[in-house]
Structure 1
């Protein structure tokens, strides 16, 4: 998981692009800037009677609970069995305050306790804050939310279905740290972001799921769970402060455990937004649609993950002439590119932009930012497309984001960072568009369909 350094203040704003299909095709969008909980945004979501008052995180809670009203539409036509999702719903939400990542309301243990966990295709372990003393984040107000929003902490002692995983257990992937076969299995997960890791001990407990059909049949899965006693770096303040669910390829990830237990097929699907990109969905066991495009997942070292081969990138309809291997990572906020690909793509983008480029600020990680005129409501930008091995394409709906400066002026930036610390190309969450992506681990492929999330 990677989280871009946030060295400036992003206000809680939504950029609503009306007439989205037309905007995507033309490389242009007209926008109005609204507060996240404004009446206009509520109306665009069709939640006038459900969305709480302005400034309340209840907005996100309502979106998650509303799943039961729309879950019957289903995700896949390729499935032999019904996909499953989290007990409290298949909705995911992107929270700017917490690194722009997508989060889900996940219930664990007996009695079932909910947690707001980040979803990360770039790692494997599902862990929750647990026995972490004063370092635990117990309320979102501690990380910058204006009002109190208490968070739950996982406690193995209060869950009747919790059991410690011992060092002698085959599931103990950190056995080299064990003092004896009978001791509790320790773990340490190092993430790509500098000085960011979680350490603790492994437990088994119940993950509460339901079928994605009208029956909403409950499904209980025994999963490997990290009791996160110590989190550092971004995990302590900027992202995944209430836990992280790894969706990777290793056998202790949730998708792998569900498949091994024959609860679902060894696949899952995710999508990110439609009208606005704050809302998404996740389903386990989803095999996708019959008309989806496919690209193979490629092996990476030292750990297997979701890497894809990009055979071409075009900007404004013109091929840039780059090929690269990149991680497809929902746990990374922005896209990180190595040189020379970074320079070629950003220069091609800059050549098409007519607005005045701002001087590079050494305090900001983004090098391509542009001034936005006070009364301007339209931004013209070149269409950016990535072509993957196999022929599938991903058109970036909007590679920009708007920032309000301290002097109340506005600018917009290209959400691509030069990959310096990571030594690898990463396609981050903000570049995944509104199509449905299916990861079929059995056949080692990533698929996408033009159907909307």
Structure 2
């Protein structure tokens, strides 16, 4: 009996170890707000907007408006993307389109690319064997502090590169190719018909960093991406000159491919802090500290991250009646917008409880107040999500500061046509948000975004090749994806010193949420 028990114990330990290994590695990337000082050197902009100024605010809101118009036009076709990189990510200035960027390494030998992070599309593409691309000379991006030119990918220069054939399952227009052995073409239309990338699909290795790896040795994972031979529109004028990293739910996105390969869990986390930076973790499925609410289908399918809000709560009283709505969680939108009828109830209650003198700061927000030079004491704001889970908004206000200190603040909330809200970065500040695609749930817990203490260990190396067509078709299993992260605004802390624009940091994290449709067409 003693021998039997010892054996059982040994087997149990092995089983536990096996389960732990199956959780997968956690891959991370640091993100920086597009208006932050860290990113100024990357922006190429001589006179960026002053932090917290009206011009700073105006540019964020203009970006939000463009995204909202795009979402209304593209609707359910909107896709989400995912970046997988263990390096720094930077938020850009005006010269680079106010997007967030991160360095990734592709190929053998590896070549580095500064790609824009976009959670609104699926495809990763980089300039490749260029016929019509943005200039890559460092002289065109003097503020980037580059010691060499931006890179261009070439299929002939990487020993691990191979074109994707038209016969591959992920070549959408394969049947339209003249031969199944031809290279699969692609065209992605962004935000406007004038901005696009086209070329051919390629398979190669992407170098990844693991937060759990005892060494600095990168993981290598086979991924699919676009060899971008021709760019148009904004991509020829300094926006994403070195490529775009998609974070979407489509099968061709980097996170989806990594998940199906079994490298990471099908989940990722995004964290925003108050300095315009943040953390991105791939494979992060949260911790016991997280609250959870289900992700909901949009137009009958899971094409984006949507949650249900049962009620909007303001101040100390009961939650407001008839304030339920569906909300898109969008890290690319700076300020939260809600349906008109909900907006009316919220601002009226906020105004009643604020009990402060109204002010006019010549901004789009209607409800602004004087604060007497002090850090404002404002009514609390909370969302009750499905499953009766409370999401307390840390910074629903935007603070204005002048030479003599704090001038006042506004409730940073706007209305939007239709019945679907957009939860922007100002509501996300101070949280580690988990997008658990495997279990179709969204989680959140308070965090300063400085570290990840709940990572899980996993395989020490990635699969040597992409999943087969049969594996691509197989549903369920251990497929895992990635995680997107960023930084968010945080609470105001002190009236002295730099303006504590909580919402500001809400930054408009990049990401062209405009890439809705990924079409593969003849180039």
TM-score by length of 2: 0.59
Q: CA deviation at 1:297?
A: 1.0
DSSP 3-state at the match of 1:452: coil
The match for 1:294 among 292, 313, 333 is 292
In the alignment, is the contact (CA less than 8 A) between 2:34 and 2:100 conserved in 1? no
Q: CA deviation at 1:243?
A: 2.8
Alignment match, 1:121: 119
Q: CA deviation at 1:337?
A: 3.3
DSSP 3-state at the match of 2:256: helix
Alignment match, 1:283: 281
Alignment match, 1:433: 429
The match for 1:391 among 384, 388, 405 is 388
**How many residues align structurally?**
366
In the alignment, is the contact (CA less than 8 A) between 1:208 and 1:219 conserved in 2? yes
Alignment match, 1:25: none
In structure 2, C-alpha distance between the alignment counterparts of 1:139 and 1:417, rounded to whole Å: 41
In structure 2, C-alpha distance between the alignment counterparts of 1:96 and 1:346, rounded to whole Å: 32
In the alignment, is the contact (CA less than 8 A) between 1:249 and 1:304 conserved in 2? yes
Q: CA deviation at 1:253?
A: 1.8
In the alignment, is the contact (CA less than 8 A) between 1:88 and 1:107 conserved in 2? no
Q: Which runs of 5+ in 2 are unaligned?
A: 1-32, 44-82, 450-523
In structure 1, C-alpha distance between the alignment counterparts of 2:307 and 2:446, rounded to whole Å: 19
Alignment match, 1:447: 443
- Cα distance, 1:181–1:417 mapped onto 2, change above 3 Å: farther
Q: Which runs of 5+ in 1 are unaligned?
A: 1-10, 15-35, 38-53, 59-84, 361-365
In structure 1, C-alpha distance between the alignment counterparts of 2:441 and 2:157, rounded to whole Å: 40
Q: CA deviation at 1:424?
A: 4.3
In structure 1, C-alpha distance between the alignment counterparts of 2:416 and 2:187, rounded to whole Å: 24
In the alignment, is the contact (CA less than 8 A) between 2:224 and 2:252 conserved in 1? yes
DSSP 3-state at the match of 1:106: strand
Alignment match, 2:264: 264
In the alignment, is the contact (CA less than 8 A) between 1:120 and 1:329 conserved in 2? no
- Cα distance, 1:137–1:418 mapped onto 2, change above 3 Å: farther
Alignment match, 1:332: 333
The match for 2:107 among 96, 105, 109 is 109
Q: CA deviation at 1:350?
A: 5.4
In structure 1, C-alpha distance between the alignment counterparts of 2:233 and 2:278, rounded to whole Å: 26
In the alignment, is the contact (CA less than 8 A) between 1:156 and 1:163 conserved in 2? yes
Aligned 1:27-426 pairs, distance under 5 A: 36=37, 56-57=41-42, 88-89=86-87, 91-95=88-92, 97=94, 101-131=99-129, 133=131, 135-136=133-134, 138=136, 149=146, 151-175=150-174, 178-191=177-190, 197-213=196-212, 214-231=214-231, 240-273=240-273, 276-301=274-299, 304-318=303-317, 319-321=319-321, 322-349=323-350, 352=354, 354-358=357-361, 366-368=364-366, 370=368, 376=373, 378-401=375-398, 415-419=412-416, 424-426=420-422
- Cα distance, 1:367–1:251 mapped onto 2, change above 3 Å: same
- Cα distance, 1:87–1:122 mapped onto 2, change above 3 Å: closer
- Cα distance, 1:288–1:147 mapped onto 2, change above 3 Å: closer
In structure 1, C-alpha distance between the alignment counterparts of 2:350 and 2:233, rounded to whole Å: 32
DSSP 3-state at the match of 2:258: helix
**Larger Rg belongs to:** 2
- Cα distance, 1:252–1:324 mapped onto 2, change above 3 Å: same
Q: CA deviation at 1:148?
A: 5.6
Q: CA deviation at 1:168?
A: 1.4
In structure 2, C-alpha distance between the alignment counterparts of 1:342 and 1:96, rounded to whole Å: 31
In structure 2, C-alpha distance between the alignment counterparts of 1:236 and 1:99, rounded to whole Å: 12
Q: CA deviation at 1:152?
A: 3.2
In the alignment, is the contact (CA less than 8 A) between 1:101 and 1:333 conserved in 2? no
- Cα distance, 1:163–1:390 mapped onto 2, change above 3 Å: same
Q: Which is richer in helix?
A: 2
In structure 1, C-alpha distance between the alignment counterparts of 2:145 and 2:337, rounded to whole Å: 34
DSSP 3-state at the match of 1:211: coil
Root-mean-square deviation (CA), in Å? Answer: 4.0
Q: CA deviation at 1:172?
A: 0.8
Q: CA deviation at 1:342?
A: 4.0
Q: CA deviation at 1:223?
A: 0.6
* Greater RCO (CA < 8 Å, at least 6 residues apart): 2
- Cα distance, 1:180–1:112 mapped onto 2, change above 3 Å: same
In the alignment, is the contact (CA less than 8 A) between 2:357 and 2:370 conserved in 1? no
- Cα distance, 1:342–1:192 mapped onto 2, change above 3 Å: farther
Q: Which is richer in strand?
A: 1
In the alignment, is the contact (CA less than 8 A) between 1:337 and 1:416 conserved in 2? yes
- Cα distance, 1:13–1:123 mapped onto 2, change above 3 Å: closer
- Cα distance, 1:167–1:340 mapped onto 2, change above 3 Å: farther
In the alignment, is the contact (CA less than 8 A) between 2:160 and 2:204 conserved in 1? yes
- Cα distance, 1:165–1:310 mapped onto 2, change above 3 Å: same
